[in-house]
Amino acid sequence: MKGVSLHHDGGLVGAAVPKGVWKRRLQGLQAAGVNAIRTAHNPFSQEFFDLCDEMGILVQNEFFDELDYAKDKRLNYHDQHTDNLTRGYVEKFQQWAKSDLERTMLRDRNHPSIVQWSIGNEIEWTYVHYRYVTGFWTDPNDPTKVDGSFWGAPPKFSPEEMKKRYEDSPKGEYILADTAKRLNGWVKALDTTRPTTANLILPQVSHVSGYADAVDLVGYSYRNSVIPWGQTYFPNKQVTINENPGTWDDWKQVLNHPECVQSVYVDGY
């Protein structure tokens, strides 16, 4: 699977995208060698899936960009002040997540183009303690201070030490692994024919916390440097590259790890 991650909008035409716009875009992507789309980071329109069926494009259908906690795009970490602009689907998740997920699946599951269900995108950011477990964040009062080597460096710790750091870290009201298991169960209740996945931004922590175990496949987001570590210590967990900038290094990871990396999605919003 050689894909791109796309948002649900059509640029200048907004979110109500005419079918012809999607068809033109998908034809251009196919001509460039794309055979798969990741619906980043919410369900798309019926017209989009109809076109993917007709054109033979594989789809990873993603449900959520936020779960228990806000994604916090304006860096209002730890809810330091009231800022409604940092709030998104998190305001509705506890009440509506099950209903929204099930209605999405009941609408979309008969589309042959859909080959994977993704329960969430880069959710680890919202459980702030996850980043400190990595060792690349050292100031508990400032989640923005990160060692600049984080993006290209392999994990600092062994799985055993990482697990201990996770178990010793302060937790909030919600545990990500538990929420993911609940979502995965809702998916499996309606469809056991397709694997589940999630897009992991801190996979080294997700592997030891139980989050990665909650889904069938794990997708890495800009964390190709973790792939050798992940396959050394978790060789039975298949990895896909769910989001990346599309550099030569990204393709090398696919070539160098054919036993685990089966699909790659370029960040093509």
- Active-site entry in 102, 122, 161, 259: 122
64-84 tens-digit pLDDT: 999 999 887 677 666 667 777
Q: What is the CATH number of the domain that holds 222?
A: 3.20.20.80
Residue 147 belongs to a domain:
no
Give residue 64's pLDDT.
96
186-198 tens-digit pLDDT: 999 999 999 999 9
Residue 164 belongs to a domain:
no
119 backbone dihedrals φ, ψ, rounded to 5°: -80, -15
243 is annotated as an active-site residue? yes
**4 neighbors 268 (Cβ within 8 angstroms):** yes
Measure the CA dihedral 126/129/130/135, to 10°.
140
49: its two tokens: 């899936």
Residue 134 belongs to a domain:
no
Residue 154 belongs to a domain:
no
Residue 203 belongs to a domain:
yes
- Active-site entry in 62, 66, 124, 243: 243
Give residue 77's pLDDT.
67
Range of the domain at 257: 2-127+173-267
Give residue 148's pLDDT.
85
pLDDT (average), residues 231-242:
90
Residue 144 belongs to a domain:
no
User: Measured between alpha carbons, how far is residue 162 from residues 132, 148, 151 in Å?
Assistant: 10, 20, 18
102 is annotated as an active-site residue? no
Residues in the chain: 269
Residue 45 belongs to a domain:
yes
Look up residue 113 and give its amino acid.
Answer: S
| 165 has a pLDDT exceeding 90 | yes
Residue 76 belongs to a domain:
yes
Give residue 48's pLDDT.
97
Give the DSSP H/E element, type plus range, for residue 26.
helix 19-31
pLDDT (average), residues 39-49:
94
The answer to whether the pTM exceeds 0.85 is: yes
The total number of structural domains that make up the chain: 1
Task: Look over the chain and give the mean of its residue pLDDT values, rounded to a whole number.
Answer: 91
Give residue 262's pLDDT.
63
Look up residue 53 and give its amino acid.
Answer: D
Question: Between 256 and 119, where is the model more confident?
Answer: 119
99-155 tens-digit pLDDT: 999 999 999 999 999 999 999 999 999 998 999 999 999 888 888 889 988 988 999
At residue 157 the predicted structure's pLDDT band, cuts being 50, 70 and 90, is very high
51: its two tokens: 């076109």
Give residue 65's pLDDT.
94
